[in-house]
Amino acid sequence: MVHAFGAEFPDGIQDVKLPWVRRPLVLVRGKPVSVEQAVQIITGEEPLFEEVYEWEGMGSDPREDRGVLKNIFYRQGYGWLSTWLYSDGTIGGNLIHLGKYPEIEEVVELYSPLAQKYPFLDMVVAYTGYNESCCYSCDFDIYKCRECKPYRDRIRKYCLDESLVRNRKPGFEELYFRDWFNWHIRNDVDDAVRLTIWIHDSKAEVLFGEKAADKFVEYNKQYYAEEYSFMFSSELYSYGMTCVCSKEFVEDCFEYIGKPRSLCDEYVKRGFIAPFPEDAAVVTKDWVVSQYHQYICRKKKKK
Q: Say yes or no to pLDDT of 140 above 60.
A: no
The answer to whether 201 and 118 have CB atoms below 8 angstroms apart is no
Q: Residue 53: how many CB atoms within 10 A of its CB?
A: 17
Q: What average pLDDT does the segment 56-69 reach?
A: 61
Lowest mean pLDDT among 49-63, 69-83, 127-141, 266-280: 69-83
Residues shown for the chain? 303
CA distance linking residue 229 with residue 227, whole number of Å: 6
Q: What's the confidence (pLDDT) of residue 118?
A: 96
pLDDT value of residue 249: 92
pLDDT digits (tens, 9 = 90+) for 149-195: 888 889 888 887 777 777 777 889 998 998 888 888 888 888 899 99
pLDDT-derived band of residue 10, with 50, 70 and 90 as boundaries? Answer: low
Give tens-digit pLDDT for 208-237.
Answer: 989 999 999 999 999 999 999 999 988 887
Pairwise pLDDT comparison (36 vs 47), residue with the higher score: 36
pTM more than 0.85? yes
- pLDDT value for 50: 77
Domain regions of the chain by residue span: 7-140+188-282
244-289 pLDDT tens trace: 888 899 999 999 999 999 999 988 888 777 788 788 888 899 999 9
Q: What is the pLDDT of residue 303?
A: 44
DSSP symbols for 34-93:
-HHHHHHHHHHH-GGGSGGGGSTT----GGG--TTTT-TT--SS--S---SB-TTS-BEE
Please answer whether residues 157 and 55 qualify as being in contact, where contact means their C-beta atoms are separated by less than 8 angstroms.
no
pLDDT on residue 63: 63
Q: Are 93 and 83 in contact (CB under 8 A)?
A: yes
Q: In sequence order, which residues have a C-beta less than 8 Å from that of residue 302 and are 6 or more positions away?
A: none
What integer pLDDT is reported at residue 121 of this predicted model?
Answer: 97
Across 243-276, b (16+ Cβ under 10 Å) vs e yields: bbbebebbbbbbeeeebeeebbeebbeeebbeeb
